[in-house]
Chain A
Amino acid sequence: MGIRIYGRSAFRGIARGKALVSRETIQGWSGIDEETGIIVEIGHPFEGLCITGSILIISGGKGSNGWSCHFHAAKISGKCPAGMVFPKMDSRTGVAAVVTGVPVVTDLEEDVFDIVKTGDYVEVNGDEGYIEIIDKEGE
């Protein structure tokens, strides 16, 4: 068993994928391209990366209230993340969890940003409320 961080389930289901991890939030409007899943926010650490099939681990939403709709549209295009992790929920991410319907875990007991790195292969368990590192990047 890999390292597990326990928290609370925000949306049901289980998913695995490569982690995209940033303490920074991300903007929805002019933040992600819903047709390609590519992050377009200028200066964001993820700029140019693709969220499709990833486990997106960020601190929350920012910018326009049109946040969830861009993840929702990416879902319809088949380009949304496989799962998401937010250390704390907010109203933008709460709606995004519901409209994408992917597993989401929140209220984590430890600082996920210290433990999980971009590229790690992780599981989000939205049924039991934890995230597990299956494979560390580069190991």
Chain B
Amino acid sequence: MLRLTDYEQEMLNGKYGKLKECALKKIVEYANALNAEELAEVTMAHIFCGNHGYLNVMKSDNVEEIISQMQYCSDELLPQEKFLAYAQSDCGPIDTINYSKMGVTNEEARKNQEFLEYYKKQGANIVGTCVPYMCGFIPLAGEHYVSSESHAVTLMNSLWSACGNSDGLEAGFWSAVCGRTPKWGNHIKENRKGTHVFNILCDIESSMDWDLLGYTIGRKLPTHSIPVINGLTTRPNIFNIKYFFAAMATTSGPEMCHIVGISPEAPDLETALGGKEPVSTINIRACDLQESFEILNINENKNDTKIDYISMGCPHYSIEELRQIANLLDGKKISNNTVLHIWTAPPIKYTADSCGYTETIENSGAIVLTGTCPLTSGKMPENTKTVAFDSAKQAHYIKPNKNVEVYYGSIEKCINSAIKGIWEV
């Protein structure tokens, strides 16, 4: 049975406003679905703001109506109360400044802005990135947060012991408004112990190795289990890790992943497992990564092919990755056959502009864009028949939805292919 504090009961009775009442009512239903016994105080919320594709089902132009229904399940229009938690926006459906470069009309941009203004009035920081932890959203160890970005949850839980679940978009808004989430799952320390050990028997070095390792572990990870990564011969950096968790959270639903020797809750294998025997131990070899690579590159076309579009920067590139891309493209020209998009967070692009990286990249003919990606926007350049990514997440998700051939490869392969205009298989 769920127990509420006096304050929570007052909020549920409407004392602090209609929106908070409505949001808390949903959190209570959610807590009951999970069989949670109490609520946790949420201090930070990373929320999915903007006129996203899934909202089209409303067939409405009224932002208030769409938000009331799709975020709070209310037929009634709800008031615009302030968020109680610190709120920061996740990716939107467009680059809010250079939208025309991704084929978005002024009207679509105006509509999206209406949504963003709505959330700004509620106190959200409109940052617009899936790497919130690189742009001011850093819940500390033991701090309860919500995030609409799957890999960000795994990363913030696993790398610095913050507490979040993969709740979903609506629950993010509920928690932002009422400052509560069910105290369940990763919000309770005892639930965070590893269950499955993955012994890594091959060298994992490049970002693509980490991407493929995440995709592979996700394929082998049973539902509702917590992986422990053991036996690494090299230490990852933060840039590797974002590929790793993004890919893992594509083929499975991990909210926590212990990396022995790196995660604070996993100084050694025994601690990661909470002193228990693992449910199972799985060995990962180079052939398993190769298998993932082949799954990501399943295409009818087995020959070298003209590549129409290459998209890089999922999860959004950090400033260091943009520096590396600038170095790879310095003095080079992208083929006329190929459109190359490089995605990052708006605050990171500001830095890249002042460092000169944007200029170097764009002098090659590539375009630096922010705040979204092909997957979140649902957009690719017109007449794209062949597309390549350096991200397993994009390659995996784009496949079912678009009638295109999808290719996957390393950062270097993507850049070289953009220069040649040809993807060599």
Contact = CB atoms under 8 A, between A and B. Distances in A.
Of listed B148, B149, B167, B182, residue having the most chain A CB within 10 A: B167
A25 B253 CA distance: 9
B33 A104 contact: yes
Contacts of B104: none
Contact of A34 (B30, B57, B153, B224): B57
Given A41-B400, A65-B149, A66-B48, A94 B169 contact: no
Contacts of B166: 61, 65, 67, 90-92
A59 interface: yes
Interface stretch (B198-206, B244-252, B330-338): B244-252
Contacts of B34: 10, 89, 91, 94
26 contacts: A11-B33, A25-B223, A42-B400, A59-B223, A60-B253, A61-B166, A64-B249, A64-B250, A64-B397, A66-B168, A68-B167, A68-B169, A69-B169, A74-B57, A76-B70, A88-B223, A91-B34, A91-B167, A92-B167, A94-B167, A95-B170, A97-B30, A98-B33, A98-B73, A99-B168, A107-B35
B73 A101 contact: yes
Interface string A89-124: 111111111110100101100000000000000000
Interface in B167-187: 167-172, 182, 184-185
Contacts of B73: 72, 98-99, 101
B223 A60 contact: yes
A89 B255 CA distance: 14
B57 A35 contact: yes
B15 to A, nearest CB: 23
Contacts of B223: 25, 59-60, 62, 88, 90
B399 interface: yes
How many interface residues does chain A have, given as a range? 35 or more
B168 A65 contact: yes
A65 B46 CA distance: 12
Interface of B: 26, 29-30, 32-35, 48, 54-55, 57-58, 69-70, 73, 147-150, 153, 165-172, 182, 184-185, 223-224, 249-253, 255, 375, 396-401
A46 to B, nearest CB: 13
A130 interface: no
A72 B167 contact: no
Contacts of B252: 25, 62-63
Nearest to A71: B168
A18 interface: no
B397 A96 contact: no
A11 B54 contact: no
Contact of B54 (A65, A69, A101): A69
Nearest to A97: B33
A128 to B, nearest CB: 15
Nearest to A42: B400
Given A30-B397, A73-B54, A90 B185 contact: yes
A84 to B, nearest CB: 11
Nearest to B46: A65
Contact of A62 (B54, B165, B251): B251
Given A30-B401, A35-B57, A72-B70, A63 B169 contact: no
